[in-house]
Amino acid sequence: MAHQDNNNNTSLTWGGVEANKGTPDATTTAHRRELYLKLFSGELFKGFQRNTIARDLITKRTLKNGKSMQFIFTGRTNSEFHVPGQNILGNTDGAPPVAEVTIECDDLLISSAFVYELDETLAHYDLRGEISRKIGYALAENYDRRIFRAVTKAARQASPILKTNFVEPGGTQIRVGTNNSGADAYVPASLVNAFYDAAAALDEKGVSGEGRVAVLNPRQYYELIQDVGSTGVNIINRDTQGTALQSGNGIVEIAGIKIFKSMNIPFFGKFGTKYGTASATAPGVTDPGNTGSFVAESMGDQEASTTPSGQKTVNEYGTEAKFDHSCGLIFQKEAVGCVEAIGPQVQVTSGDVSVIYQGDVILGRLAMGAKPLNPAAAVELVAGAAAGAGNNAAF
């Protein structure tokens, strides 16, 4: 059996005896399987890290010995002049106000595959390594999708602080363009204006300028970098060109906001993109054909323990209809809190099980949960309808 902690440190035991990890040329079955697991783990972690961007953009903590974790959110306080002879026992207004957000861990998320030993024998490529990478991709996609839904939810919420006489700022929605058409989501000038509006809103709500990021659909990102110069808006660091510019990994900046691209943001009710004739709930992009079933798949409803597809969550990530006009996210790391009870891990069958089935099951797993933390740090871009209208309303 393989065990792994949340720091991705793998320890291996076989029949209750720890395997000898110091033998590079081990030939026993146990040692070979230990080496396999290390290789599988490495491939899965590379696949996961390469495809997730949300993990490093929000507030994340490791959950141990419990099913939930409390995040403390503190509001703002005032300064006041001291009165000679008066005791200093804290501000007279009782500030700062404090709110507690409890984030629970969702059910265990898994992705697995069965590898038949004969297929491995006949294959002329590394079958297990490729499968491990794809398992890592699958876990990363689900991870990012839940985080980005939580950011969207935060952008539509009021502050969690309910102290009397204290009104803390909540989330923000900003409309891209002014037409009742989703096609505005791809207009570079409208996007740039929305970014500056978002930056101003975050400034006005007292959100730190450090760590502000945006996540857009890939086509939006490419429209922006193609339009540099023609709009007269300098949004790119001219020292960065070539492949770095095309990568979409936070190179482009508008108003100090680093821009990432991802197929995992909620985008007009789908993941990352939506094809079809332009309408209030579609940006009007022609399907290039042969896109496969994984592109533009449905967001699905992810309410707590009620998902039609059988996916179970503890935290509520919203119904699909709530994202019909969503077309981008701008946020700071305080917007969402995330707990990880089990980081990305690999498990592989062995022993009698492998003999009986003449193959191994490779399983990747993780357990995490996310919720809005500080709504003031979240901005949702919408198109095709006014902010706060219809399906843009709060969850």
pLDDT (tens digit per residue) in 121-132? 666 556 777 888
Spatial distance between the Cα atoms of 157 and 307, rounded to a whole number of angstroms? 22
Q: How far is CA 171 from CA 57, 174, 190, 331, 375, in A?
A: 17, 10, 21, 10, 4
Q: Looking at the whole model, is its pTM more than 0.75?
A: yes
Q: Please tell me the CATH code under which domain 2-13+26-72+95-392 is placed.
A: 3.90.1690
Of 218, 214, 207, 219, whose CA–CA distance to 235 is shortest?
A: 214
- Copy the structure tokens of residue 45: 């972690």
pLDDT at residue 102 greater than cutoff 60:
yes
pLDDT (tens digit per residue) in 229-258? 555 455 555 445 555 555 566 667 889 999
Residues of the chain with pLDDT > 90, as a percent, come to 35
pLDDT (0 to 100) of residue 305: 57
In the three-class reduction of DSSP (H, G, I as helix; E, B as strand; rest coil), residue 126 is classed as coil
φ and ψ at residue 55, rounded to 5 degrees: -60, -35
Residues of the chain with pLDDT > 70, as a percent, come to 77
Residue spans of the domains in the chain: they are 2-13+26-72+95-392
pLDDT (tens digit per residue) in 299-346? 667 766 554 455 556 888 888 889 999 999 999 999 999 999 998 888
Phi-psi region of 111 (alpha: psi -120 to 50; beta: other; left: phi over 0): beta
